[in-house]
Amino acid sequence: MPGITREEVAHLARLARLELKPEELDHFAGQLDDIINAVARVSDVADQDVPPTSHPLPLTNVMRPDEVRPSLTPQQALSGAPAEEQQRFKVPQILGEE
Amino acid sequence: MTATTDLVPYEEALASYDPVMGLEVHVELGTRTKMFCGCSTELGAPPNSQTCPTCLGLPGALPVMNATGVESAIRIGLALHCEIAEWCRFARKNYFYPDMPKNFQTSQYDEPIAFNGYLDVQLEDGTTFRVEIERAHMEEDTGKSTHVGGATGRIHGASHSLLDYNRAGIPLIEIVTKPIVGAGERAPEVARAYVAELRELIRALGVSEARMEMGQMRCDVNLSLMPKGGDKFGTRSETKNVNSLRSVERAARFEIQRHAAVLRSGATVVQETRHFHEDDGSTTSGRVKEEAEDYRYFPEPDLVPVAPSRAWVDELRGSLPELPLQRRNRLREQWGVSAHDMQSILNAGAIEPIVATIEAGADSAAARKWWMGELARHANEAGVEPGALPISPEQVARVAVLVKEGSLNDKLARQVIEGVLAGEGGPDEVVEKRGLKVVSDEGALAAAVEEAIAGNAAIADKIRGGKVAAAGALVGAVMKATRGQADAARVKELILQKLGVGES
């Protein structure tokens, strides 16, 4: 099982917008390695004949009819917003484009 | 800001390079509710009035698939001649952007619901070009952001952004082509024709109105160049959200010229997204893709797999309408018009009104004549599609029948149409109110003919001498005398008869 490198942790941290100190990179690399190795043990018992699954229940095609259900009021929707303006969620300026 | 972009003249660019395109089209489905929750998709609602814990991504909320959304996706796939997955899943596409409240978009990754298809498109001259379809997959739309503090809603210089999540979660189908090669100088035309044909198809299926100006259908144009005769694709640019047919064509053309200039200068094309500018048809650099995008896709654990039964797929296949191109070809044959004329009829948005007018009893030549002539002109002036004019196909058919019967001539018929458009009532009512009937009293006509001949002796002599074409002047005189209310063909007959000349 290949180990998780510092660089990979740094990459993930950047994608997750987390600021990690150098010592934390090493710390998490070790922890992630442990977690992945623990999960990888599934492969020891699940052979090719066991299909990979992404849901605990053997269900397919759970759908609902295309019928409108009540929504939240705008006040309810915005109640958890850190800031609002013109009945909209207010967020800091978005950097990095144009 | 685009004045500095170097461009190679189009013909020169095409002399050295072959364009390769990939088109990604997003179609917003016309379902009543969102893809994973029961919030309404109605347009024009007050901001954030159509949201719930699921589409806001609040903790503990669980999504459930919209059955109509899945059905629409399968029908689109089938109409594009795709294979339909026997089993597929949704995936989370992870990224941070405020228009995506969950911090991931529920999409499909390596298991699209439809794949490996094609769409035949027809170019202006009638040539058919086959565009191969890579896949069509289900996903959801994002919220709408307004940037405040900068110029006209742009991000640049904005101090903050405002988010309305009414649109977040509305079902989208993303349709991706395989690389389109071999179109050469016609690449921009192919791009436009493809998006136009796809729009017709989506509308024929009734799954969306696909109005590009409303953002219900949006196109990303991927383009690269390879040296002529080569087989290795160049680096591509991705021009995002090109939102009209004309813009799709212009964006492709601009990028061909720009790429050629970059390559010819010895530089390399940067892989990046670009923004299209409607005003001058240019594109400008957006976000540079420094590293391969890393969305950390993984199967969506909150949704169960979609496994459409073959029986359901077959049933949906059986319910597909005649595809637009086939239908146009069939109508073209029935009507006996050229591919080019049919293209004009399509571009004018007149196919449906003409079909309905023929069904209402008009012959096809007359139906085409009125919708592509008088009515197209009125529609143009009003800036609407012909079908939106306040005259029904039945009324147009009635006018055509009155002309055929000889109780109206073309000039009077135009007045009748004007009357109907002005809200004066149906054709018969307008005829009645305005007193628009051709003079069919043979006695009155004969008198007018006599008079015209007497008053134009020189012309009458010419006609007697065999110059039948000169009769037009006498017909004109009679029409004037009857204030346009005579049947011109009958008048001509009478004149020739009177002068003892048979029509050859």
**CA B173 to CA B434: how far, in whole Å?**
53
Q: Do B301 and A89 touch (CB under 8 A)?
A: no
Tally of CB atoms within 10 A around B168: 27
DSSP strand pairing (A84-85 vs A63-64): unpaired
Task: Please tell me which residue, B343 or B27, carries the higher pLDDT value.
Answer: B27
Q: Which of B65, B146, B296 sits opposite A62 (nearest CB)?
A: B65
Q: B359-381, pLDDT tens digit by residue?
A: 999 999 999 999 999 999 999 88
Q: What is the DSSP string of B149-179?
A: SSSTT-STT-SEEEEETTSTT-EEEEEEEPP
**CA B269 to CA B223: how far, in whole Å?**
11
Least confident range of B142-151, B227-236, B311-320, B392-401:
B142-151
Least confident range of B83-87, B152-156, B371-375, B448-452:
B152-156
> Torsion angle, CA of B111/B113/B117/B118, rounded to 10 degrees?
-120
Task: Please tell me which residue, B288 or B96, carries the higher pLDDT value.
Answer: B96
Residue B251 lies in a domain: yes
Mean pLDDT of A81-85: 94
B222 plus B255 within the same structural domain: yes
Q: Do A78 and B94 touch (CB under 8 A)?
A: no
pLDDT the model gives residue B503: 55
In the predicted model, is pLDDT for residue B429 greater than 70?
Answer: yes
Mutate to test the interface with B, among A8, A17, A60 (most CBs of B within 10 A): A60
pLDDT the model gives residue B229: 86
Residues of B in contact with A59 (CB under 8 A): 304
According to DSSP, residue B467 is labeled -
Q: B177-222, pLDDT tens digit by residue?
A: 999 999 999 999 999 999 999 999 999 999 999 999 889 999 999 9
Domains parsed from chain A with CATH numbers:
1-47 (1.10.20.60)
Token readout for B312 is: 């359901």
| Backbone φ, ψ for residue B242 (5° rounding) | -90, 115
B359 plus B391 within the same structural domain: yes
Domain span holding position B365? 348-434
Task: With CA atoms as reference, report the closest residue to B372 among B391, B393, B348, B356.
Answer: B348
Amino acid at A57: L
B400 plus B460 within the same structural domain: no
pLDDT the model gives residue A56: 82
B265 plus B163 within the same structural domain: yes
pLDDT the model gives residue A50: 81
Mutate to test the interface with A, among B162, B241, B302 (most CBs of A within 10 A): B162
Mean pLDDT of A52-78: 93
Residue B370 lies in a domain: yes
Residue B343 lies in a domain: no
Q: In sequence order, what are the residues at sequence separation of 6 or more whose Cβ sits closer than 8 angstroms to the Cβ of residue B262?
A: B6, B268, B269
B446 plus B429 within the same structural domain: no
Q: Do B147 and A93 touch (CB under 8 A)?
A: yes
Q: Which of A15, A71, A80 sits opposite B50 (nearest CB)?
A: A71
Query: CA of B187, closest CA in chain A: separation in Å?
Result: 28
**CA A45 to CA B31: how far, in whole Å?**
44
Residue B335 lies in a domain: no
Q: Do B160 and A72 touch (CB under 8 A)?
A: no
Tally of CB atoms within 10 A around A63: 17
Residue of B nearest to A85 (CA): B162
Residue B483 lies in a domain: yes
pLDDT the model gives residue B63: 97
B200 plus B286 within the same structural domain: yes
Query: CA of B239, closest CA in chain A: separation in Å?
Result: 13
Task: Please tell me which residue, B149 or B165, carries the higher pLDDT value.
Answer: B165
**Backbone Cα Rg of chain A:** 22
B407 plus B492 within the same structural domain: no
Q: B243-274, pLDDT tens digit by residue?
A: 899 999 999 999 999 999 999 999 999 999 99
Q: What is the DSSP string of B336-367?
A: T--HHHHHHHHHTT-HHHHHHHHHTT--HHHH
- Contact at 8 Å (CB) between B34 and B41? yes
In chain B, the number of structural domains is 3
In the predicted model, is pLDDT for residue A98 greater than 80?
Answer: no
Task: Please tell me which residue, A92 or A89, carries the higher pLDDT value.
Answer: A89
In the predicted model, is pLDDT for residue B64 greater than 90?
Answer: yes
Residue B365 lies in a domain: yes
pLDDT the model gives residue B427: 93
Task: Please tell me which residue, B86 or B286, carries the higher pLDDT value.
Answer: B86
In the predicted model, is pLDDT for residue B502 greater than 70?
Answer: no
B352 plus B461 within the same structural domain: no
Task: With CA atoms as reference, report the closest residue to B308 among B108, B116, B92, B89.
Answer: B89
Residue A39 touches partner B, C-beta closer than 8 Å: no
Q: Do B96 and A67 touch (CB under 8 A)?
A: no
Sign of the Cα torsion A68, A81, B98, B298 reads: negative
Q: Do A71 and B52 touch (CB under 8 A)?
A: yes
**Segment (H or E) for B377:** helix B374-382
**CA B488 to CA B490: how far, in whole Å?**
5
In the predicted model, is pLDDT for residue B126 greater than 60?
Answer: yes
Residue B1 lies in a domain: no
Residue that finishes a domain, picked among B434, B453, B483: B434
Mean pLDDT of B218-231: 94
Q: Do B48 and A97 touch (CB under 8 A)?
A: no
Residue that finishes a domain, picked among B402, B434, B466: B434
Helices B410-421 + B427-434 axis angle, to 10: 110
B421 plus B474 within the same structural domain: no
In the predicted model, is pLDDT for residue B142 greater than 70?
Answer: yes
Burial group, residue B226, by CB count within 10 angstroms (0-12, 13-18, 19+):
middle
Q: Which of B155, B164, B287 sits opposite A88 (nearest CB)?
A: B164
Residue A1's pLDDT band, with cuts at 50, 70 and 90, is very low
Say what percent of chain B tops pLDDT 70: 95
- Contact at 8 Å (CB) between B278 and B1? no
pLDDT the model gives residue B2: 44
pTM value is 0.82
Q: Do B98 and A94 touch (CB under 8 A)?
A: yes
Residues of A in contact with B167 (CB under 8 A): none
B408 plus B447 within the same structural domain: no
Task: With CA atoms as reference, report the closest residue to B84 among B119, B112, B118, B106.
Answer: B112
B465 plus B372 within the same structural domain: no
Q: A13-26, pLDDT tens digit by residue?
A: 988 889 999 999 99
Mean pLDDT of B387-399: 94
What CATH number is given to the structural domain containing B454? 1.10.10.410
> Torsion angle, CA of A10/A12/A18/A19, rounded to 10 degrees?
0
pLDDT the model gives residue A97: 47
B20 plus B54 within the same structural domain: yes
Task: Please tell me which residue, B439 or B370, carries the higher pLDDT value.
Answer: B370
Q: Do A91 and B97 touch (CB under 8 A)?
A: no
Q: Do A54 and B300 touch (CB under 8 A)?
A: yes
Say what percent of chain B tops pLDDT 90: 69
**CA A73 to CA B48: how far, in whole Å?**
8
Residues of A in contact with B307 (CB under 8 A): 60-61
Residue that finishes a domain, picked among B400, B434, B468: B434
| Buried b / exposed e along A78-94 (16+ C-beta atoms within 10 A) | beeeeebeeebbbbeeb
Mean pLDDT of B92-113: 94
Residue B504's pLDDT band, with cuts at 50, 70 and 90, is very low
Tally of CB atoms within 10 A around B265: 10
Mean pLDDT of B457-465: 86
In the predicted model, is pLDDT for residue B1 greater than 70?
Answer: no
Task: With CA atoms as reference, report the closest residue to B7 among B262, B275, B277, B280.
Answer: B262
**CA B248 to CA B81: how far, in whole Å?**
24
Q: Which of A63, A73, A96 sits opposite B70 (nearest CB)?
A: A63
Residue A75 touches partner B, C-beta closer than 8 Å: no
> Torsion angle, CA of B105/B110/B115/B120, rounded to 10 degrees?
60
